[in-house]
Structure 1
Amino acid sequence: MTEWMAYERVTGTFGPERLDVLHGIQTAVIANANRAKGSRKAEPKDFIPEWDQGKRGPMTWQDMLAAAKAYNRRINGTDHTTKGGAAGGDA
């Protein structure tokens, strides 16, 4: 894993982050080719989404359980936990 991390530092990111950058470059080229005269030139960063990178901090197990239960309700799933919820002491 350490070797892959070193390789990525030398070559740049790969995986989903790299694809975001590549699509941002491509979209900026298309936007600039079609922009009106005098308008601001688009940059790749204008088209790269800022994904949630832990800005809220790590989730507690209670938050994870609450999120799983909310998703389960949305898909009409069945709750098989005891005491019915994160506040009820499910682990």
Structure 2
Amino acid sequence: MTVRELLARMGSAELAEWRAYEQISGPLGGARGDVQAALVAAAIASVNTPKGKRPPSVSDFMPRWDRTKIRKSPEELFKLAMAANASLGGTVNTTTP
């Protein structure tokens, strides 16, 4: 179903109710599966963590789909691009044609 079809079938009030329900009860659909998988992975990693080390938490295994909150400056992005280029054996051409 597309967003257009959803909006044609459901009013904004009902959509707001579903959003409020999800905020109270937790994620609906695939996001809940991510939480469940992260919980299992954290439990397995925890029992296999050596004594004295901090066991991983559930958040360590949660995929981060929305990366809009991670802001990098243009300089930081350039450094990351240069590091990726170097790690792949790339070169930088600084001459202009």
TM-score, length-scaled by structure 2? 0.50
Deviation at 1:11, TM superposition (A): 0.6
Alignment of 1:1-91 (within 5 A): 1-51=15-65, 53=66, 55=68
Q: 1:26 to 1:3 in 2, by over 3 A?
A: same
Deviation at 1:54, TM superposition (A): 6.1
Kindly tell me the number of residue pairs found equivalent between the two proteins: 55
Deviation at 1:55, TM superposition (A): 2.0
Letter aligned with residue 11 of structure 1: S
Identity of aligned residues (%): 38
Instruction: Report the structure, 1 or 2, having the larger helix content.
Output: 2
The CA RMSD over aligned residues, in Å, is 1.8
Q: Which runs of 5+ in 2 are unaligned?
A: 1-14, 70-97
* Residue deviations 1:5-55 (CA, integer Å, cap 9, x gap): 12112211122221111111111001111111111111000111111x262
Distance 2:18 2:54 in 1: 38
TM-score, length-scaled by structure 1? 0.53
Q: Which runs of 5+ in 1 are unaligned?
A: 57-91
Q: Aligned to 1:41, what secondary structure does the other structure show?
A: coil
Structure 1: 4+ residue segments shifted above 3 A: none
